[in-house]
Amino acid sequence: MSNENSSNEVVDSKMLDALDKPQQIHQVVQEAILLAGGAAAILLQVAEPGVAQGVDEHSNFAYRPLDRLRTTMTYVYCMVFGTREEKEVVIEMVHRAHATVNGPGYSANDPRLQLWVAATLYAVGMDLYQQMFGKFDNTTSEAIYREYSVLALSLRVPPGMWPVDRKAFWEYWNYQVATMEITDHAKHVAKDLLHNKRAPIQIRMVLPLVRLTTTYILPERIREAYGLRSTKLRRGAYRVTMGLTKATYPSLPRAIRTYPMKYYLKDMRQRLKGKT
């Protein structure tokens, strides 16, 4: 796969128009609970062999996991809450970083791979949100789904590639989950992510909880392919964990539930200001 996109390419104004001012998606993406699905989203992403090879061969998140979290959340929050100018700068930064991530048979700018990356963010985010707050009605669900396409468009996925509606999305999703093969690259990423002995102590302390929640967020076939065991004891621990979270999280002050979003947006704006 060739990389035809120059890092100096100006972001398409029509794409920025399409990304402008999403409405319904705000109430989902602003919630800190979505961070609990971060590891599951990454393992789903690298279940796609091309993504796995790119991450395994080009990423340093095993050594600097907080940097990867910072980059990912900056991108997500900017695409949903950022100004047009901020989106343009961040999109260019992402494309420039992706320009070097390529090799035999894969490219980080391959829209097929980026479609899957965006799909995992939608599937995991909506699942966690609705576990905490209940299901949306069909009209709202479709509106949020359409707006989630901003995460694909900003990665140069052509609009026509994002499944037309939720029914089409879940058909695409189920096919992907049923046919993907977990490669050695993906297993290496999973080991670095879930058993990271190089991470700061505060991250290592929460890894048992991350492993537990990730195990049951993942589809069964993907979970088993990664070797994540499901036992009666672990299932019970997960039910208790999620039950307590569901009972307490929605009643937290909004300022606490949206703190990560505000933190990363402030961090992004400080860094962008330093570049001007």
Tell whether the model's pLDDT for residue 208 goes beyond 70: yes
Query: How much is the average pLDDT of 88-94?
Result: 88
The pLDDT of residue 14 is: 60
Whether this model's pTM surpasses 0.85: yes
Please report whether residue 6 resides in a domain: no
8 A C-beta contact, residue 24 and residue 140: yes
CA 107 to chain centre: 18
Please report whether residue 103 resides in a domain: yes
Q: How confident is the model at residue 233 (pLDDT cuts 50, 70, 90)?
A: very high
Most confident among 153-157, 199-203, 259-263 (mean pLDDT):
259-263
Query: How much is the average pLDDT of 146-151?
Result: 90
Q: Work out how many domains the chain is built from and give that number.
A: 1
The pLDDT of residue 9 is: 45
Please report whether residue 37 resides in a domain: yes
Please report whether residue 118 resides in a domain: yes
Q: Which domain holds residue 267?
A: 13-274
Beta-bridged to residue 162, according to DSSP, are none
Instruction: Please identify which residue in the block is written with the tokens 């996925």.
Output: 157
Range from 19-33, 78-92, 109-123 carrying the lowest mean pLDDT? 19-33
Q: How confident is the model at residue 246 (pLDDT cuts 50, 70, 90)?
A: very high
